[in-house]
Amino acid sequence: MADQKVNILLVEDNPYHAELTLKALTMHHLNENFVWVKNGEDATDFIFCRGAFASRSIENAPKVVFLDLKLPKKSGLDVLKEIKTDERTKSIPVVILSTSREEKDIIEGNNLGMNGYVVKPDDFEKFSEAIKNIGYYWLVLNQLPKK
Amino acid sequence: MQSQETNLQALYEKLLESEEKYRRFVENAADIIYRTDGEGRFIYVNPVGKRIFGYSESEFIGKHYLELFHPDFRNKARQFYATQFFGGQYSSYLEFPAVTKEGKQFWLGQNVQPLMENGQIMGFQAVARDITDRVIAEEEVQKLNAELELRVAERTIQLENANKELEAFSHSVSHDLRAPLLAINGFTQFLSMHLGEKLDDEGKRLLSVIKTNTQTMQHLVSSLLMLSKTNKKELETVTIDMTALAQATYKEIASPEAQQKIILTISPLPQANGDQMLLRQVWSNLLSNAIKFTLAKDECAIVVGGRIEENKNIYFIKDSGAGFDMKDAGKLFGVFSRLHTDDEFEGTGIGLSIVRRVIHRHRGEVWAEGEVGKGATFYFSLPKE
């Protein structure tokens, strides 16, 4: 993959949820430079420019990561931990998107330095609204430090 | 002189007669009676004693009392009698395992008194009874009790495990069901948004059937989640103004139309000690039930009241709605148990089981009274402390 600019990195193993997320972003014109990876391994490879993503540069970080927690191979919390414990990547905003409100996940995510925890509403309209709000906040309103 | 001799003779005969009576009494007694000298060696044993122990008169006399005890118990017995009698106590009772001449073990319960002369212990006399049947029965009871306790403990662990499994099951079911639900809901919505125009009437109807059922599923899943949460949540007990809580909850859940149509009366309610969030859920479920079943009627009245009893406070919600047959009262609070079809009244059948779990967790009770067509009254009690 070329070293293209990335706005949102979506880490999601459920292809239907990935598609719905992209549809919701598209509806609100937030889909530019959107990248989807299906598991935790690919997510950290992408962030740290390893394996299939070796040609990327680590400075070219996504503006925000949407991270599912229940992932194959490497869990969402493990991905979060890797991102947040590395000096080069810890400023990348990571928002957890989960199907459920799990107190222990919220606490652990918080301790690891997550930037948000959002429960995916099971009604699409509400889901789409939530995706719009998160995307708008992190892509448009939020200011990140210059590298 | 003559008469003095006669008197003595008469007295002597009387004495002999009295001794004979006493001897017969002792010899024929059902209990063992024996006597020892100051060192504890037998000087007399009645026939029952000889029969039970199997020693002849000559074998018994001169034997030390401890020889009748089971060897393992001799030290204990020696210490017991030493403390009792040299501590100046007049009488003692001891239960101990005894051994017959043939080595058969049995239990005796024995009363011992010291025989005193001029403040000196001259010997001991004892009455003993075979208590083997009682001791065995007691041992049996103890054994059964111990077994019972063990079984209760085992069952408790099994039950706790089953509960935990069930808990984990309903939790993961309700969570894992949400992922496909979002997908069904989302794609159905896209289908109707983008292809809705191209569908004929039957196609549109089928789509709306999917949507309605998805919504039902969403309600079920979120109710199941709520049910599993009511089990897991730690109780945060505070003092609650139940009148205010009932009023606030009603305003929150009743639609403006419902509020306009229904005449609601809330009498001052006793305060409660409990978890505010969970008890709000109780009011919410009971009030929304009352609203749902009352709105179908022309005259809609809901009465909320309560009373204070000795150890508990009782709260009730009475509605003028569809009511129920008392023979179905037992089904009301079960998970997924419903008395009405969806055509009559919508519902997931989980609301009242949430109510029951919350109240049970507060060590209270729930029950209901009703009559078909004449409304229902739901009661719950909460302990005062």
B306 and B269 Cβ atoms separated by less than 8 Å: yes
Q: From A120, which residue of chain B is nearest by alpha-carbon distance?
A: B182
Q: What percent of chain A has pLDDT over 90?
A: 70
Torsions phi, psi for B306 (to 5 deg): -165, 170
ipTM confidence: 0.81
More confident residue, B231 or A81: A81
For B164-186, write each residue's pLDDT tens digit. 887 777 777 777 888 888 899 89
Arithmetic mean of pLDDT over chain A: 90
pLDDT tens per residue, range A9-63? 999 999 999 999 999 999 999 999 999 999 999 999 999 999 999 999 988 899 9
Give the best residue of B172, B176, B178, B182 to mutate against chain A (max A CB count within 10 A): B182
- The beta-carbon neighbor of A17 closest among B183, B189, B221 is B183
Say if CB B57 and CB B45 are below 8 A apart. Answer: yes
The pLDDT score that the predictor gives to residue B337 is 60
User: Region A126-135: what's the mean pLDDT?
Assistant: 93
CB contact under 8 A, A127 and B218: no
- Rounded to a whole number of angstroms, the distance from the CA of A71 to the nearest CA of chain B is 13
> B12-130, what's its fold?
Beta-Lactamase (3.30.450)
For domain A8-141, the question of CATH label 3.40.50.2300 is answered with yes
Contact between A127 and B186 using a beta-carbon 8 Å cutoff: yes
Q: Name the maximum alpha-carbon separation found in chain A.
A: 39
Predicted local distance difference test score (pLDDT) of residue A29:
93
Residue with tokens 């009645």: B46
B316-350 confidence digits (pLDDT tens): 999 888 777 777 777 777 665 655 665 555 566 67
Sheet of strand B376-383, all strands in order from the earlier edge strand to the far edge = B263-266, B301-308, B312-319, B376-383, B365-370
pLDDT for B31 beyond 60: yes
pLDDT for residue B341: 61
Least confident of A62-66, A68-72, A130-134, B266-270: A68-72
Comparing B93 with B85, the larger pLDDT belongs to: B93
Enumerate long-range contacts of A51-57, CB under 8 Å, 24 or more apart: A52/A1, A53/A1, A55/A1, A55/A2, A55/A3, A56/A1, A56/A3, A57/A3
Q: Any idea which of A119-128, B321-330, B352-361 has the lowest mean pLDDT?
A: B321-330
Residue B274 near residue B245, CB atoms below 8 Å: no
Contact B187 A121 (CB under 8 A): no
What is the rounded average pLDDT of the residues A107-112? 94
From the list B178, B185, B225, which residue is nearest A124 (CB)? B185
pLDDT of residue B347: 62
Report pLDDT digits (tens) over B125-152: 999 999 999 999 999 999 999 999 999 9
Residue A66: its pLDDT value, please? 96
Measure CB to CB from residue B175 to each of A20, A100, A121 and give the nearest one.
Answer: A100
What CATH architecture does domain B236-383 belong to?
2-Layer Sandwich (3.30)
Query: Which pLDDT band, with edges at 50, 70 and 90, does B287 fall under?
Result: very high
B46-73 pLDDT, tens digit each = 999 999 999 999 999 999 999 999 999 9
Contact A116, A6 (CB under 8 A): no
Please answer yes or no on whether B189 and A14 come within 8 Å at the CB atom.
no
Interface list for chain B against chain A, based on CB atoms closer than 8 Å: 175-176, 178-183, 185-190, 218, 221, 225
3-class SS at A91?
coil
Confidence of residue B2 (pLDDT cuts 50, 70, 90): low
Q: Which residues of A fall within a CB distance of 8 Å from B187?
A: 16, 20
Find the length of chain A: 147
* Cα→Cα distances B261→B218, B254, B256, B300, Å: 29, 10, 9, 7
Q: Are A102 and A91 in contact (CB under 8 A)?
A: no
**Residues above pLDDT 90, as percent of chain B:** 41
Q: Which residues of B touch A14 (CB under 8 A)?
A: 179, 183
| Chain-chain contact of A14 with B218 (C-beta, under 8 angstroms) | no
How sure is the predictor about B239, in pLDDT bands with cuts at 50, 70 and 90? very high
Q: Which fold has domain B133-232?
A: Helix Hairpins (1.10.287)
CB atoms within 10 A of CB B185: 24
Q: Structural domain boundaries of chain B?
A: 12-130, 133-232, 236-383
Predicted pLDDT of residue B342: 56
Report pLDDT digits (tens) over B198-219: 888 888 888 888 988 888 888 8
> Inter-chain contact A20–B183, Cβ cutoff 8 Å?
yes
* Span A128-143, average pLDDT: 91
Residue B176: closest C-alpha in chain A? A99
Q: Bigger pLDDT: A4 or B156?
A: B156
Tell me the nearest-neighbour CA distance from A69 into chain B, angstroms.
13
Q: How far is A101 from chain B (nearest CA, A)?
A: 9
Q: Are B104 and B82 in contact (CB under 8 A)?
A: no
Provide the 10 A C-beta neighbour count for residue A96. 26
SS3 B64: strand
All residues at 6 or more sequence positions from A25 whose CB lies less than 8 Å from its CB, including other chains? A8, A31, A34, A131, A132, A135
Q: Are B319 and B294 in contact (CB under 8 A)?
A: yes
